[in-house]
Structure 1
Amino acid sequence: MENKENKLVIKELPIIVEDELFLYPFMITPIFLNDEDNILALEEAIDKESMVMVASSKDSFHTKRDFNSIYKAGVIGNIMRKTNLPDGRVKILFQGSYKGEIIEGLSEKPLIAKVRAIQTYLKKSDKIEPLTNVLRQKIKTLSSMTHYFPPDLLRTIDDSIEPNRLTDLVLSSLRLSKNKSYEFFIEKDLENKFFNLIDYISREIEAQKLEKEIKSKVHSRIEQNNKEYFLKEQLKQIQKELGTDKDKELEIDEYRKKLELKKPHMNSDAYKEISKQIDKFSRLHPDSTDSSMVQSYLDWVLEIPFEKLAKKRSSMDEVKKILDNEHYALEKPKKRIEEYFALRELLELRGMGNKANNGVILCFAGPPGVGKTSLANSIATALKRELVRIALGGLEDVNELRGHRRTYVGAMPGRIVQGLIDAKQMNPVMVLDEIDKIAKSFRGDPTAVLLEILDPEQNNSYRDYYLNFNIDLSKIIFIATANDVSNIPAPLRDRMEFIYLNSYTPQEKFEIAKRYLVPQELKKHGLKPSDVNISEGALKLIISDYTRESGVRNLRRRIADILRKAAVSILTNKDNKKISVNLKNLPQFLDKKVYEIDSVDKNDQVGIVNGLAWTSVGGDVLKIEAVKIEGKGNLQITGHLGDVMKESAQIALSVVKVLIDEKVIKIPLNSIKDLKSSEKKDTQIYNNYNLHIHVPEGATPKDGPSAGIAMATAIASIFSNKKVKSNVAMTGELTLSGKILPIGGLKEKLIAAHKAKITKVLIPRKNYDRDLVDIPDEVKNDLEIIAVDTIDNVLKLALN
């Protein structure tokens, strides 16, 4: 045994690597060596009759022996015995003497390093005795809960042994990870080591308590389940003796009767599946989980109205009357619906009623609030069928339409089958609302299901996952609604015929409010025309200053706001006077104006142009601003614009550059700064300035090619220093050759220009020839609509 002075000396010792254990001093441990590096280190120690250091590897399966793969501390001790085993391994008996740490690696074959002893210290010796007592108490508590500490070890711990050795004995018996063992091993402050060890054992005690509690609860639950099973079996036998299981038999009989009534109207697969489930239900215990699932299935499937069809229909005159009574304007959509009914009536009169549903699927497309869903309701009324509305907005789970498989808890049929059950007939009018807002996700693509539902060649054998049999949807009249047709996938668009409902003009909104909205809201609020009167002027002001929409949904809300306040006034004032809402007192009912008309600037300005835009909620006037800044001909575009609109700006700049070079756009010499008079004649002004184009309301995304001519006009105005006429608005796609291509949404754009008090609008020639017939007369009468073919025409009309 070495004395204290020898321990502190730095020594060169062979390193033996132990893969499994983390050794501590004072332990005599057998170690099996089976790799060349360890055997070489052993032979080095025997040859030099030196001590060795046993260090633990960081990875139990580590095959490489180097200083990076072992912990930098271990036990220094002596080889007591060496034995060569028949399988080639070497067994040694190692006696640890004291802890050591590696200072410097000298060799890796074998591992030889400079090492020195790890010395522990104690700051305050008066704390060591209470810490030792606490540790012994914790060990006794833990030993009563686990088998970590053998009896002879507990006796040794109870003896008065040196504190450092006490902690090492305890640590050698705990089941610590190598990293945790290493943390304790290299701790030199004995007080900290005691505190950390006590804390670790305390947490281990709590973990053991929790584990014991969980085992106890699990055992109790198992006993309870066994008890419940036994009692249920007893109850089952008692019920059989008393005859109280007859209730289930009555349910089964009721299911069989319903099935037989529906049998002539369903296919054989459906009958077999339902019969099978009834038989299964009769065999199941009433309290089993499967029993409730099968019963839920039977309740759903036997509610499907296989045997019920709506047979009444209206004549063409009645259809026209219903459409006119319930909708103002919308002449084109109403005409197409009349054609739809005429075809159905003709087929039925000629005995081909089974082909009445084989036409295309109607899709009403237009901004919110223009009457898409109410038109579908009118069709259901005319056909004298139930209306079922299925909201598809945001739908991303294919199982919402197709149904959930019965293996899942809470499974139910898809929305289509649920719609049939709600309608209580197999041929309702089914509205697929907001079909353009279907989402695609990891749960599947609902569009694929809709392709089957809407295809007349496939929907006579539609399969719902929950039902597990085919069902005929061919008798349903499907009507879709959408705001933006471009968002509908192409295969789905191909199966539908689109009927476009455009924005209402202010005059149309006024007529709708007077004829429909006010009477309907009066009735809804329990009021009579004799109680409240809203003047025509007040209605027009509500339309212009309190709402901004393509449809009339918000207009209805504002009328409802007025009538609610009127109802309060009637109940609080007992004089029974008729309440009149007019221009003067309208703010008392609707507070301040929400919108001001975006009338154009009265003054002509350089670089500011009125463009026209179309969105899914209607048209709008789009201001386009441009400025030039001294620079090198760069273009900056802002305003949250899409790629197409940015490309339009690039095209507009290129076209204007060509017009400047061709002297079509003349540049005033006094607008070219910092150049001599002799150079101004031949200069290219666009190379001396940076151009910045901005479209206000930067938070709103904008895209599309129809602002091309407006951007070109703004750029031409900036370079020529000519003002743009403030009463002119324009829309059109510009090509590099300067030609103007047609655009979409013309009606909405012209209505927006009309609202903004613009007097002159420039539109592409093809739109003028093709689409002007659809523009309301009140808009055409107030606007001077001019057809333009090239950018030259636009600049002559727009610039002063």
Structure 2
Amino acid sequence: MELENYDKFPQDIPLIIEDEIFLYPFMIAPLFLNSDDNISAVEHAIEENKLVIVAVSKQGKEGKREDDSFYDVGVVGNIMRKVSLPDGKIKVLFQGLSKGRINQFDQEQPVLCNVDILENKPFEEESVKSVISVLVEQVKKLSRLNSKFPADLIKTIEENDDATRIADLISSVLKVKKDDAYKLFAQTDIEQRLLDIIEVIKKEIESFKIQKEITQKVNSKIEKTHKDYFLKEQIKAINKELGTDNKKDEEIKAYKKRLKQLKPHMPKDGYKETKKQVDKLSRMHQDSPDASLLQTYIEQVLDIPFGEYSDEKISVNNVEKQLNKDHYSLIKPKERILEYFAVKQLLEQRNIEDLKSKGTVLCFVGPPGVGKTSLANSISKALQRPLVRVALGGMEDVNELRGHRRTYVGAMPGRLVKGLVDAKKMNPVMVLDEIDKLGANHRGDPTAVMLEVLDPEQNNEFRDLYLNFAIDLSQIIFVSTANDIRRIPPALKDRMEFIEISSYTPNEKYHIAKDYLIPQELVKHGLNKSEISLSKPTIEMIIAKYTREAGVRNLRRVFSKLFRKAAKKLLTDDKLEKVSISTKNLKTYLDNPIFEIDPADKKNSIGIANGLAWTAVGGDVLKSEAIKLKGKGMLSVTGNLGDVMKESSRISYSVVKVLIDKGALEINQDIIPKSFKEKDEDTKLDSSEVYKRYDIHLHIPEGATPKDGPSAGITMALTIASILSEREIKSDIAMTGELTLSGKVLPIGGLKEKLIAAFKAKMTKALIPRKNFERDLEDIPEEVKKAMELKPVDVIEDVLKEALV
């Protein structure tokens, strides 16, 4: 179908904009169209029996239909067939007839545009033939290099004598940018067009030659061709040809620069080791498996803050202010901390370098939640040094502290070095949390590493296995925490000074809640002080009945729960301006009381004694009960007791038997059954018949709770003595003490917590070992000492005298 069958040009015809390729007049090609304007153009052409022009959108303006969004030269042709597709697209078969130039395009009518046919300029045939022969030679060269170049194209060119057709055929197979393709497409000087095509082919030939050389270079370096490796090498070779392969050199240069800056502050062997590794990396191929490991090592070393120290001078006054601001009570711990920093400040002022970095390591010991870690936080704030926390609980692998050797996969520095990197200073405050929970197994004993870390004579040359050189830890202020001092190995104990932080009394907890916890929790929950009403009796009830701990961590959680509910109330009730929480409505916020120490019984009883126990969450009143049954003098013990406590019960029974035999514990003859007596009822029987003819069952209540320790010895002895003699035990008296087989009372631990529990249970008297009375009484809170009579006892007879009615 020729152009003569249609109206003469110029004329207005529909415009189709193609995003990808230029079409040529000799082509019959399928077009997939989805834009509304393109579909409208096709429909208009079919309805009006018109030709269409297919133009190409410019780079970056695909999908637009504006004046400058497409090239002004395209292919004029007709729509041979149209097929609708399911996804809203249409497929048309387009036949190109001639090139056309768009003279005018109206954005108000984007479907149509004014088009004229693009005519070539006249040319000299001989000159053009010469150029075509050169072009054919270049095409042959390109086809030999590029296997994807159409083989039959050369034959088609040689058989054709139409210069325009030859130029179109070659242009259609060249892969060039849109702008270059447009210049070749729109050129009307046929001779110049052919020369431009020759230039493009020459560049492509040159490109293929370089690519071939690069491929040969790559193939000579690899033994076996692996796809991923081949591609990396090819990219590298290309970058090298272009002069862009300098990233690795820049990294090595940066490492050397940083290392030079750190040299004055690094240990000599550290500088030597790191420089050696940097030089090794510079000689190594960047895709070598060892290269990434070396690079990681170098970066880890260079991240250590050598020479970086907090400049703030140690000030005892600042430490004291911060401790008082953050913590209530804790008089003795605060005093010892201030003494520690007073020594450091004096050494610093007098510039005694040898001793500045040496000194005792403080270890805060106490139950959970009493403020051990927060004391370290306060020290960090007062000294204006970063705080690093190293959690040691459950750590069994020695390499966690000392680092892994670099021969292992995934090797990293130890936690101490990581702590310095995180702190960005060489003199942070480092908290070694839960040092009593370090474990040992086949991977080593972390305790041995801690011996070196905490020894001032050794820690200035601590060797991390990953770094492979010694690093100075002597400027770090180490503070450790522990719950149970007995679990710390003796050698490690020797490195530390222990500061015991005992349970808080109810009065101390009240002040902590009032001055610290409640204000902090109000801020966290977005509440104002005026919006919450909490009376003193309410706070005391919360402390007494809703928490049972040595510290105040759970107490904080209770206030958090209260304020969450209060915040919800204020939001849901617009008229409510203040939430009042009192002892009367406390149950609506916190349900029923969870914990409650039973108060002392009002009535004296036989076979029930009040013992005092230490637990991980503070003290408790532990009752001891006994009954006697007809039998043969056997003792049975229940209540989930440990081995030590079972032994104490047997000792207690033997001691009571001795007391009965000696007559120190009188047995009423009336309590011996008549069947045990001789025929003559007036005859006085041996008191030992009581423990020979009765079995004793001793029970410590709360059988689900494991109990162990020797300090219940006098309590169990008193219980057995009471049940055998049928004498009542005073209900308002509590006691604690270890009992020996000879009847002596030995000192015990945890006295403060135990007496606080007795105080909470409203006991009026407490029996304690004399040694505890002499050495530990000053640690007991004044309110406890005023409320109870503390009576020292030396032997079991003293206990019986004070406790039995």
TM-score surpassing 0.5? yes
Q: Which residue of 2 aligns with 1:553?
A: 553
Partner of 1:447: 447
Structure-to-structure mapping, 1:368-379, within 5 angstroms:
368-379=368-379
Residue 444 of structure 1 aligns to a residue whose secondary structure is coil
How far off is 1:611 after superposition? 0.6
Partner of 1:116: none
Aligned equivalent of 2:380: 380
Give 1:576 deviation, angstroms: 5.9
Q: What residue in structure 1 maps to residue 71 of structure 2?
A: none
Shift of 1:468: 1.2
Residue in 2 that maps onto 1:532: 532
Partner of 2:214: none
Residue 686 of structure 2 corresponds to residue 682 of structure 1: yes
Deviation at 1:354, TM superposition (A): 4.5
* 1:587 to partner: Cα distance: 2.1
* CA distance, structure 2, for counterparts of residue 544 and residue 552 of structure 1: 12
Q: Is the 8 A contact 1:344 1:353 kept in 2?
A: no
Cα distance in 1 between the residues matched to 2:600 and 2:440: 42
Aligned equivalents of 2:534, 2:294: Cα separation in 1: 58
Q: For residues 525 and 280 of structure 1, what CA distance do their matches in structure 2 show?
A: 57
The answer for the alignment partner of 1:7 in structure 2 is: none
1:511 has 2:511 as partner: yes
Given residue 507 of structure 1, which amino acid in structure 2 is its aligned partner?
Answer: N
Q: Is the 8 A contact 1:314 1:384 kept in 2?
A: no
1:723 aligns with 2:728: yes
CA distance in 1, matches of 2:498, 2:617: 17
1:564-643 to 2 correspondences below 5 Å: 564-575=564-575, 577-643=577-643
Equivalent runs, 1:471-486 vs 2, <5 Å:
471-486=471-486
> What is the rounded CA distance, in whole Å, between the counterparts of 1:778 and 1:683 in structure 2?
44
Give CA-to-partner distance per residue, 1:537-570, whole Å, 9 cap, x none.
2211110111000000000111111111122222
Q: Distance in 2 between matches of 1:225 and 1:488?
A: 60
Counterpart contact for 1:672–1:680, Cα < 8 Å: no
| 1:743 match | 748
Q: Which amino acid aligns with 2:686?
A: D
Give 1:771's aligned amino acid: D
Q: TM-score, normalised by structure 1?
A: 0.70
> What pairs with 1:751-762 in structure 2 (closer than 5 Å)?
751-762=756-767
Question: Using the alignment, how far apart are the partners of 1:573 and 1:287 within structure 2?
Answer: 67
The change in CA–CA distance for 1:633 and 1:416 in structure 2 (over 3 A counts) is: same
Which residue in 1 is equivalent to 2:459? 459
CA distance in 1, matches of 2:313, 2:462: 26
Aligned partners of 1:428, 1:749: CA distance in 2, in Å? 38
1:243–1:638: structure 2 CA closer, same or farther, 3 Å change rule? farther
Cα separation, partners in 2 of 1:615 and 1:597, compared to 1, 3 Å: closer
Whole-angstrom CA distance in 2 between matches of 1:567 and 1:665: 63
How far does the alpha carbon of each residue in 1:270-305 deviate from its partner, in whole angstroms, 9 at most, with x for none? Answer: 111111221222233333332222222222211100
SS in 2 for 1:596: coil
CA contact 1:313–1:382 (8 Å) conserved in 2: no
Residue of structure 2 equivalent to 1:201:
none
Q: Check conservation: 1:738, 1:791, Cα contact below 8 A.
A: yes
Report the Cα distance in structure 2 between the residues aligned to 1:387 and 1:447, rounded to whole angstroms. 22
> Runs ≥4 in structure 1, deviation > 6 angstroms?
222-225
**What whole-Å deviation, never above 9, does each CA across 1:678-731 have from its counterpart, x for those lacking one?**
476125221222222221222322222111111110110111011211111101
Q: How does 1:651-800 map to 2 (within 5 A)?
A: 651-673=651-673, 674-677=675-678, 678=680, 681-682=685-686, 684=688, 685-800=690-805
CA distance in 2, matches of 1:591, 1:252: 66
Output one character per residue of 1:502-553: Cα deviation in whole Å (capped at 9) or x when no partner.
1000000000011111111112222221232322222111101110000000
Letter matched to residue 691 of structure 1: I
Asked if structure 1 preserves the Cα contact closer than 8 Å seen for 2:667 and 2:687, the reply is no
Aligned to 1:163: none
| 1:765 positional shift | 1.5
Q: Secondary structure at the match of 2:637?
A: strand
Alpha carbons of structure 1 residues 790 and 469: separation in structure 2 relative to 1, 3 Å = same
Q: Report the residue type matching 1:646 in the other structure.
A: K
d(CA) in 2 for partners of 1:683, 1:784: 34
Question: Are the counterparts in 2 of residues 627 and 691 from structure 1 also a CA contact under 8 Å?
Answer: yes
Higher Cα radius of gyration:
2
* 8 Å Cα contact 1:630/1:689 also seen in 2: yes
- Equivalence for 1:262: 262
Q: Measure how far apart 1:785 and its partner are.
A: 1.3
- Mapping 1:241-256, distance limit 5 Å: 241-256=241-256
1:288 aligned residue: 288
Check conservation: 1:609, 1:724, Cα contact below 8 A: yes
Report the CA distance between 1:443 and its aligned residue: 1.4
Kindly provide the amino acid, as one letter, of the partner of residue 707 in structure 2: K
Q: Is the 8 A contact 1:435 1:480 kept in 2?
A: yes
In the TM superposition, what whole-angstrom CA distance separates every residue of 1:75-96 from its partner, at most 9, and x where no partner exists?
xxxxxxxxxxxxxxxxxxxxxx
Residue 786 of structure 1, CA deviation: 1.2
C-alpha separation between the residues in 1 aligned to 2:426 and 2:295?
23
Count of residue correspondences: 579
Shift of 1:585: 2.4
User: Would the aligned equivalents of 2:597 and 2:621 in 1 still touch at CA under 8 Å?
Assistant: no
Query: Which moved further from structure 2: 452-461 or 768-777?
Result: 768-777
Percent of residue pairs identical: 61
Instruction: Please name the residue that 2:303 is paired with.
Output: 303
Aligned equivalents of 1:775, 1:658: Cα separation in 2: 35
1:243, 1:412 → 2: CA distance? Answer: 36
> Which stretch of the first structure deviates more once superposed, 623-632 or 594-603?
594-603
* Pairs within 5 Å for 1:119-134: none
Residue 408 of structure 1 deviates from its aligned partner by 2.3
**CA RMSD after TM alignment:** 1.8
5 Å-filtered alignment, 1:200-239, equals: 226-239=226-239
Partner of 1:406: 406
Q: Is the 8 A contact 1:313 1:384 kept in 2?
A: no
Give the Cα separation in 1 of the matches to 2:613 and 2:662.
31
Does the 8 A contact of 2:328 with 2:511 survive in 1?
A: yes
Cα deviation, residue 353, structure 1: 4.3
Aligned to 2:323: 323
| Superposed CA offset, 1:18-37 (max 9, x none) | xxxxxxxxxxxxxxxxxxxx
Q: Distance in 2 between matches of 1:581 and 1:411?
A: 56
Q: Residues 660 and 687 of structure 2 are in contact (CA less than 8 Å); yes or no, is this contact kept in structure 1?
A: no
Query: What is the identity, as a one-letter code, of the residue corresponding to 1:676?
Result: K
**In structure 1, how many angstroms separate the alpha carbons of the residues matched to 2:295 and 2:573?**
58
SS in 1 for 2:613: strand
Q: Offset of 1:644 from its aligned partner?
A: 2.0
AA in 2 matched with 1:739: K
Q: Which amino acid aligns with 1:657?
A: K
Q: How does 1:104-183 map to 2 (within 5 A)?
A: none
Displacement of 1:314: 4.7
CA 224–631 in structure 1, closer or farther in 2 if over 3 Å, else same? farther
Deviation at 1:422, TM superposition (A): 0.8
